[in-house]
Amino acid sequence: METTDEESRWFTPNQALTITERVGLLAGRWDEALMFLLAAYTGMRFGEVRGLERQYARLGAILVQWQLREVRGVFIQAPPKHNGRRTIPLPPFLAELMSDQLRRTKPGTCGCEGHQGDYLFRPTSRPGSLVADHYSRTGFANQFFRPAADGRLVKKGERERSRIMVDADGRYVPRRRGGRRWSGPRRGR
């Protein structure tokens, strides 16, 4: 990441695309990868991406009207930070990806109390797991972003923070203990 004099951090385009690919592999589907890519290229905050309703995703632009905030485990719809309602133009490649997202996702409102919306980015439940209608900020960061950005699982309970590898299908590959490790291509003799 590059920094400016004010210590703001920005991803380079290559870093954003690399992390996007890794998020998609870890999640096992494109929606989570597109969430990250949309935030990286537009500057939208996580709550704004999480709270993006179908009606505000327009051809070539995003209307930021709301964010979904999590307060004590309950999601509420709130105005964007600093009342930052705005229209964000999308680069052509991202407009095409968002159009595809609109086609692929089924319309439908979430089952939360206190707000109702047809949100474009919602987790899917996996067999044996309980998933809310929206990602928590910490859950998304620990499950997808941090491992994608720095290659480490976040410490959770008994599990130590450790390096991970993911195969092409998005499954965690156990790290071998001991033995010889590959250290890169051999140099000419």
Residue 165's pLDDT is what? Answer: 65
Band of residue 186 on the pLDDT scale cut at 50, 70, 90: very low
**Domain count along the chain:** 1
Residue 180's pLDDT is what? Answer: 45
Residue 99's pLDDT is what? Answer: 95
In a domain, 55, yes or no: yes
Q: Where are the beta strands (DSSP E) in 52-97?
A: 57-58, 61-64, 67-71, 74-78, 86-89
In a domain, 34, yes or no: yes
Residue 130's pLDDT is what? Answer: 45
In a domain, 106, yes or no: yes
As a whole number of angstroms, the distance between CA 87 and CA 79 comes to: 14
Tell me, what CATH number does 65's domain have?
1.10.443
- Residue 129 or residue 123, greater confidence: 123
Q: What's the pLDDT tens digit per position in 73-126?
A: 888 888 998 888 999 999 999 999 999 999 998 888 887 776 788 899 988 755
Range of the domain at 79: 10-124+133-173
Q: What's the pLDDT tens digit per position in 33-68?
A: 999 999 999 999 999 999 999 999 988 999 999 999
Residue 41's pLDDT is what? Answer: 92
In a domain, 18, yes or no: yes
| CB count in 10 Å sphere of residue 98 | 22
